[in-house]
Amino acid sequence: MLTLTRRIGESIMIGPDIELTVASVGRGRVRLSIKAPREIAVHRSELVQRVSEENQRALAAVVEQGIADGREISFPEGLPGLREHRSFLLCDQAPDNPIKRLVSCRDPNVQLCVVDADVTEFPSDIARKQARFNEETAVGLVVTVHADGRHTTVNMSAPLVIGLESRVGRQVLIEGHDLPVTAALVAPNREATG
C-alpha cells in the first residue's frame, strides 16, 4: 500500500485520467474531490462492502432454495480444478441471456458460465455417446467471458453432459474430433429454407 501526505489543494494522479484532490481537512475528516471519466465507477468502500455482503446473502438463499427444491446437479467425479465442488445449481442470469451460471452449492462464490450446446455449432451427439448415460441428457459448454473485451469463447473439447432425470453430470474430454478449447461463442446460422 502506498501512503502519501498531501495538503489542502494538492492532488494525486491515478493513471492519466483520475485525479484526487484534498478539498478540506477538519474534525477528524478529510474531504476529497475526485475527477474521473464517467465510465469509471467511484463508490465509498463501505457501500461496496455492504452491497457485496447483501449479494452474498441473496446468492446463499438462492442456493439453499434450489437445494430444497431438488434442482441440484451432482457431479460425483467433480470437475477439473474444482474436485471438491460436486454439487451445483444452474441459475439464469437474465431472461434472454443464453449464458447461465453453474453455482457451487458448497461455495456460491465458485461459479462457471455455461451455455446449452444446442445454441452453438457443437456436435452434441459426440459428447452424449462418450458420456454413456442411459437417459435423456443436456449438453453444456463452459463459457469464458474475457474481461479485456475479447469475444466470449466456449470450450468445445470438454463439454458437460447432464442426465435430465438423475440430475447427475460429468465433464467429458472429446478426443480425435479436432474440437477447440477456445472457440468464439456464436449462434448457428439458422437461415429460413424453402
| Domain match, 15 and 106 both | no
Residue 74: predicted pLDDT: 94
Residue 12 half-sphere exposure toward CB, CA atoms < 13 A: 14
| Domain match, 79 and 28 both | no
User: Could you tell me the three cell numbers for 89?
Assistant: 445449481
| Domain match, 110 and 136 both | yes
Over its length of 194 residues, how does the chain's per-residue pLDDT go in tens digits?
A: 889 999 999 999 999 999 999 999 999 999 999 999 998 889 999 999 999 889 888 888 888 888 889 899 999 988 888 999 999 999 888 888 888 999 999 999 899 999 999 888 888 999 999 899 999 999 999 998 877 777 888 898 999 999 999 999 999 998 888 887 887 886 544 444 44
Residue 51 half-sphere exposure toward CB, CA atoms < 13 A: 6
Which residue, chain included where needed, has cell 453432459? 161
Residue 187: predicted pLDDT: 53
The verdict on residue 178 lying in a domain is yes
Residue 116: predicted pLDDT: 92
Residue 63: predicted pLDDT: 84
| Domain match, 149 and 62 both | yes
Give the count of domains, the chain: 2
From the number of C-beta atoms within 10 Å of its C-beta (0-12, 13-18, 19+), residue 177 rates as exposed
| Domain match, 30 and 84 both | no
| Domain match, 23 and 80 both | no
| Domain match, 15 and 89 both | no
DSSP letter at 152 equals P
Asked whether 91 and 105 are in contact (CB, 8 A), the reply is: no
The verdict on residue 2 lying in a domain is no
Give the structural domain span for 144.
45-184
The verdict on residue 192 lying in a domain is no
The whole model's pTM is what? 0.70
Which residue, chain included where needed, has cell 460436486? 86
CA dihedral sign, ordered 83, 81, 106, 118? negative
| Domain match, 57 and 143 both | yes
| Domain match, 107 and 15 both | no
| Domain match, 68 and 21 both | no
| Domain match, 23 and 75 both | no
Q: Which strand (E) or helix (H) includes residue 14? A: strand 11-14
Residue 191: predicted pLDDT: 46
What does residue 119 show for φ and ψ, rounded to 5 degrees? -90, 5
Q: What is the CATH number of the domain that holds 72?
A: 2.30.290.10
What does residue 151 show for φ and ψ, rounded to 5 degrees? -60, 140
| Domain match, 61 and 149 both | yes
